[in-house]
Chains A and B, each alone.
Chain A
Amino acid sequence: MSGPGRRRSIEKKLTGVILIAALLPLALVGLVTYNQEQRALRESAREQLDAIATVQAARVESYLFFSEINLELVASRTRLGQLLGSFIAESIPTDQALMNQILSDARDSAKGAILEVHVADLDGIVRASTDPSRLDDDLSGPSYFADAQISPTLGSIATNAAGLDVGVHAGPIASSGLTLGVVVIEADLDPLLTSLDDPIGLGDSEESYLVRRDRNRPQLVTPLAEPDRFNNAAPENSPMELAMGEASGEVIEAVDYRGEDVFAAIRTIDSTGWGLVVKVDKAEALAPIANFRNLLVFGLVMAGLASVALAHVLSVRLTDPIRRLIAVAGQMSTGGSQRARLDTGDEIGELAIALNRMADQHDAALQELEGKNDQLQQFLYVSSHDLKTPLRAISSYGQLLAADQRHALSESGREYLDRINENSKRMYGLIDDLLAYVKAGQIEETFGPVNLDAVLERVRGSQELDLRTVAASLSISHLGTAHGSAVLLEEVFANLVSNSIKYRRPDAPTRIGITVAETNGDHVTIRVEDNGIGIPPEHRERVFQPFHRLHRNDDIAGTGVGLAICERVVSGHGGTIRATASNLGGTTILVTLPRFPPP
């Protein structure tokens, strides 16, 4: 995993923590405030609606009250009753013009509140009117007519010939305790409509209207602000429905005829059974809270962005020293002498100090070890010198004795002397090999790609004389490239070939084969096999120990260091070496080396 990846992960964690820390309280407070605000707004809208509805209801009541007074004023004119009585009886020729005159007077005395007045008999035939064209019209059709014979009754709203909105108010006319007919007043509705339309200040969507029940279906008394969106079938539980029901006097939340969510105050006008609806769109009533919500969301987003930025800055400040520590630790682990220079004064600074201390101790231990190793090596060189000096003297004097005084010795004396010389030379060789063995583990060659084919060609060259001498055949197949030191590997294979020649079978032509035994992933195994005398299974591990020889006697030259050196070099390459039986009947040495390039 790479460094930047790790840094991002800390940044992610920090961002998460800071986001939560910053946004959670803000969101909580915002939500609580939002709810409170919304409730307050709702309450105030309801209260205002309620107040407005009360005012509007009072206006309607007073309008109706005055209309009824006007009606009764007309109906109570005695003269009019008498005239109507005789007119109906047809017994007396009646002066219809006088009746009309009385009605006109009554209208005029109402000072514009009354537009037209008609008087109909109990059959609904207009007997007198302020509008002569309406004489003999039949008014018995509308439903109010029957009721109006008993008490004052409100009729529907209509538009008269002049295009004005008119309200019909009818009541009984009596003479001598006998109902003779009905007085129908066409009143000017304009004052009522105007007052209903008069905005009180709730907002643009504020609207007031009157409904009444007609065969259980709401029927509008006053026109709507948007009549074209009214489909004559108000939705269930709409303010229109509820205004004529038992919910009168309440402020409700409902869906109106336009399909909009509204707050609505509803009243029943007691004197008529009409319903009054005063409503305002929820959206408008609660608009301030929507603004607040937008503000809250904006605030949250800004706080989130600020948190991310803060987390980034913090994480950079936090991880920068850590990354420097990682870099230094990486260099330390590869043997660098760098130390972390971080005076952050916090835990990271302490970590750096601890890391430095650890590296110091490690270096000290390493130095001590290197020192001891050097001492050991020094000891080895010095002692080899000390061993060689007397040995060389023995060997030299032995040789001098053999060269100059040979004739003075007996036959067996000469033989003894030869033994002495042989063995002192041999021991000298042992000391040299011991040194070579120690060196093999210490040579610090630069490792790189090694062309094994070229290495083996050189080995063939260096061994050619010996190969020729014993008439041995050496076959080498394509081996490829290993990772290591060409010089050291040449030594290994030269040793192996030389061994195959040394430990050959005297009775058969010597054959040596070098092939690739196996290539697996990052390693290649080279097989060096011969048809020589072989190694007994019980010795196959020990042959790689220094100075271990299978052949103690002197019939084969050597000190027993060759394979041990091979082992040291190969394990120094991170490889292995082992001996097995050979298909050719002799020995197989398997050398496993790292491949190049490393896969």
Chain B
Amino acid sequence: MSTRNVLVVANETLGGRELLLELEQLNTPRGSTQFHVLVPATRVDLSIKKGGEVDAQGHPIIDHRAQDLARHRLQAALKLLADQGAEATGETGPADPFTAIARVLRRPNVIDEIILSTLPTGTSRWLRMDLPHRLQRKFDLPIRHIASAASEDLAEVVAAPLSIEHHDLPPEAERFDRPVEVVLIEDTATDAQLTAIALERSDLDVNLRVCTRASEALELLTGSDPHPADLVLLDLRMPEMDGLELLERLGGALDLDTVPVVILTTSDLDEDRQRSHELGAHAYVVKDPDFLRFQEVLEGIIVEQAVTSSTRV
């Protein structure tokens, strides 16, 4: 009987009750599953700027606390899995979970399924990024999402530190061949400015065009150019034409796989989220009142374009 290779992506919920139960079930009968645990080093202090920036000495600035925490959690999780009698390997990854997963999948190994464990809706930063849906759209793999309680303090579990192999993480930002072409469709000037500021602060190579009206966006995006942008950021609540209607029209005129549309909205309604996904939106992002978290999500989405451009067939 062949073993299944399952990629477990988690950070705060590692060692959480629901996740452990799920993994034990997956590994029944014992030894039928090979786990690979990936812990993206989710940033603890969002005010530290992204990797890629270098300090005065020219060394990349690394969020060491986040990496320590990720390593610590990974060690504990591998110990718990070993106690369960499961075969497990693991690694830590970049802060952006999408980038981290993409890196693992790019390697010549066979992953049969991804298990993504997050905190429940409302508290999870990964869900705020619409991560499950984005993974689903990008990778042709079964993805199971588990909402789990935060794990208890793992301090006692790793009383005696295990030796796990880890290497210094390379700078997190992917290399772009050219600036990422982003079109922002947003009727509120302040919101447009905030998005621009977030992109600017991310130090990513982005070329941003802003449309304040839906008609303007339609004209720009459905012209003769088959690839008018690398990414479209779309607000839902707009006067003239609703964002969903515009999305529907864009879907008719563009290949939404090559020109992904990400919904940026204040609406947290399930109907809006569901409808957006149905109409082919790549991700549904609720505008966070916390600017730094907003910036983090936005960065992840931009970086994704660079990460996947090389994996895209």
Fill in one digit per residue for B181-195: 1 if any A CB lies within 8 Å of its CB, else 0.
000000010110010
Contact flags A382-413 to B (C-beta < 8 A → 1, else 0): 10110011111101110110010000000000
A219 proximal to B (CB < 8 A):
no
CB–CB A392/B287 < 8 A: yes
Residue in B120, B152, B289, B290 whose Cβ sees the most chain A Cβ within 10 Å: B289
Report yes or no: B152 in contact with A465, Cβ–Cβ below 8 A.
Answer: yes
Contact A424 B289 (CB under 8 A): yes
- Select which of A385, A428, A465, A468 is within 8 A of B289 by beta carbon: A428
Query: Which residues of B lie under 8 Å from residue A464 when comparing CB positions?
Result: 17, 149, 152
Contact present for A381 and B267 (CB under 8 Å): yes
The chain B residue with its CB closest to the CB of A463 is B149
Are A395 and B291 in contact, CB atoms less than 8 angstroms apart?
yes
Residues of A near B17 (CB, < 8 A) are 461, 464
Least CB distance from A394 to B in Å reads 9
Known: A399-B290, A400-B291, A403-B292. A393 touches B149 (CB 8 A): no
B294 touches A396 (CB 8 A): yes
CB of B197 closer than 8 Å to a CB of A: yes
Does any Cβ of A come within 8 Å of B150's Cβ?
Answer: yes
CB of B289 within 8 A of CB of A391, answer: yes
B216 at the interface (CB under 8 A from A): no
Which interface residue of B190, B267, B288, B291 has the most chain A CB atoms within 10 A? B291
Residues of B close to A384: CB separation below 8 A: 266
Query: Within the complex, what minimum Cβ distance (angstroms) separates B107 from chain A?
Result: 34
Would you give the shortest CB distance from B162 to chain A, in whole angstroms? 24
**Does B291 lie within 8 Å of A399, measured CB to CB?**
yes
Distance in angstroms from A586 CB to nearest chain B CB is 25
| Among B152, B268, B289, contact of A396 (Cβ-Cβ < 8 Å) | B289
Which residues of chain A are near B149, meaning CB under 8 Å? Answer: 461-462, 464-465
The answer to whether A389 touches B188 (Cβ under 8 A) is yes
Q: How many residues on chain A are close to B (CB under 8 Å)?
A: 26
A43 near B: Cβ within 8 Å? no
Number of A-B contacts (CB under 8 A): 61
Interface assignment of A578: CB less than 8 Å from any CB of chain B:
no
Residues on A with beta carbons closer than 8 Å to the beta carbon of B287: 388, 392
Contact A381 B269 (CB under 8 A): yes
Judge whether A385 and B291 touch: CB under 8 Å: no
Q: Do A392 and B267 touch (CB < 8 A)? A: no
A395 touches B290 (CB 8 A): yes
Q: Which residues 258-298 in B have Cβ within 8 Å of A in the complex?
A: 266-269, 287-292, 294
**Chain B 145-162 interface 0/1 with A at a Cβ cutoff of 8 Å (1 = within):** 000011011000000000
Contact A396/B269 with A465-B150, A465-B152 known, Cβ cut-off 8 Å: no
User: How many of chain B's residues touch chain A, expressed as a range?
Assistant: 20 to 34
Are the C-beta atoms of A392 and B268 separated by less than 8 Å? no
Give residues 176-217 of B contacting A (CB, 8 Å).
188, 190-191, 194, 197
Residues of B within 8 A of A435 (CB): 268
Do B267 and A399 touch (CB < 8 A)?
A: no
Contact B152 A400 (CB under 8 A): no
Q: Is B47's beta carbon under 8 Å from chain A?
A: yes
Bound together, the chains give a CA A403 to CA B294 distance in angstroms of: 14
Chain A 348-390: CB-based contact to B (< 8 A → 1; otherwise 0):
0000000000000000000000000000000001101100111
**Closest beta carbon of chain A to B153's beta carbon, Å:** 8
Q: How far, in Å, is A209 (CB) from chain B's closest CB?
A: 116
- B153 — nearest CB in chain A belongs to which residue? A468
Chain B residues, CB < 8 A from A131: none
Give A424 to B267 CA distance when docked, in angstroms.
18
User: Which residues in A have their C-beta under 8 angstroms from that of B294?
Assistant: 396
Q: Which residues of A contact B291 (CB under 8 A)?
A: 395-397, 399-400, 403
What residue in chain B is nearest A468 (Cβ atoms)?
B152
B194 touches A389 (CB 8 A): no
List of A residues within 8 angstroms of B47 by Cβ: 403
Q: With an 8 A cutoff between CB atoms, is A432 at the interface? A: yes
A146 to chain B, nearest CB (A): 140
For the complex formed, measure the closest distance between the CB of A223 and the CB atoms of chain B, giving whole angstroms.
Answer: 119
A424 to B291, CA, bound (A): 12
Is the CB of B133 closer than 8 A to any CB of chain A? no
Docked CA distance A386–B55 (Å): 41
Which among A399, A435, A468 has the greatest number of chain B C-beta atoms within 10 A? A399
For residues 203 through 240 of chain B, which have their beta carbon under 8 Å from a beta carbon of chain A?
237
Whether the pair A390, B190 counts as a contact (CB closer than 8 A) is yes
Answer yes or no: A425 CB below 8 A from chain B CBs.
yes
Q: Decide yes or no whether B24 CB sits under 8 A from chain A.
A: no
Question: Which residues of chain A from 414 to 435 have a CB within 8 Å of any chain B CB?
Answer: 424-425, 428, 432, 435
The residue in chain A whose Cβ has the minimal distance to the Cβ of B195 is: A396
Q: Chain B nearest CB: distance from A557 CB in Å?
A: 14
Complex Cα distance, B269 from A397, in Å, reads: 25
Bound complex: CA A388 to CA B290 (Å): 12
B53 near A: Cβ within 8 Å?
Answer: no
- B residues in contact with A462, CB < 8 Å: 120, 149
Separation in Å of the A474 CB from the closest CB of chain B? 14
CB proximity of A303 to chain B, nearest CB, Å? 71
Instruction: Enumerate chain A residues within 8 angstroms of B113, measured Cβ to Cβ.
Output: none
Whether B266 pairs with A388 at a CB distance below 8 angstroms is yes
A465 cross-chain contacts in B, Cβ below 8 A: 149-150, 152
Q: Tell me the complex Cα distance, A125–B47, Å.
A: 176
Let me know if B197 and A400 touch, CB within 8 A.
yes
The 0/1 profile, CB within 8 Å of B marked 1, for residues 441-485 of chain A is: 000000000000000000001101100100000000000000000
Q: Is B18 an interface residue (CB 8 A)?
A: yes
Q: How far is the CA of A464 from the CA of B194 in the complex (A)?
A: 37
Q: Bound state CA distance, A489 and B191, in angstroms?
A: 38
Question: How far is B153's CA from A468's CA once the two chains are assembled, in angstroms?
Answer: 9
**Whole-angstrom CA separation of A396 from B294 in the bound complex:** 9
Q: Given A399-B292, A468-B152, does the pair A392, B266 have CB atoms closer than 8 Å?
A: yes
Q: Which residue from A432, A461, A468 sits with its C-beta under 8 Å from B268? A: A432
Nearest CB on B from A278, distance (A) = 112
A425 touches B289 (CB 8 A): yes
A403 to B120, CA, bound (A): 29
Collect the chain B residues with CB atoms within 8 Å of residue A390's CB. Answer: 190
Residues of B within 8 A of A382 (CB): 237
In the complex, the answer to whether B266 meets A396 with C-beta atoms within 8 Å is no
Bound-state CA distance A47–B266 (Å) is: 119
Nearest to B236 among chain A residues (CB) is: A385
- Cα A550 to Cα B306 in complex, Å, equals 51
Q: Of all chain A residues, which has the CB nearest B269?
A: A381
A-B complex: 6 closest residue pairs judged by Cβ atoms: A396-B291, A399-B291, A428-B289, A393-B190, A388-B266, A395-B289
- Some 5 contacts from A to B, beta carbons below 8 A apart, are A385-B267, A389-B190, A392-B287, A393-B191, A399-B290
Taking beta carbons and an 8 Å cutoff, which residues of A are in contact with B? 381-382, 384-385, 388-393, 395-397, 399-400, 403, 424-425, 428, 432, 435, 461-462, 464-465, 468
Taking Cβ atoms with an 8 Å cutoff, the residues of B that contact A are 17-18, 47, 120, 149-150, 152-153, 188, 190-191, 194, 197, 237, 266-269, 287-292, 294
Q: In the complex, given contacts A389-B266, A428-B289, what are 17 additional A-B residue pairs having Cβ atoms less than 8 angstroms apart?
A: A385-B266, A388-B266, A390-B190, A391-B289, A392-B194, A392-B287, A392-B288, A393-B190, A393-B191, A395-B289, A395-B290, A399-B291, A400-B291, A403-B292, A425-B289, A464-B17, A465-B152
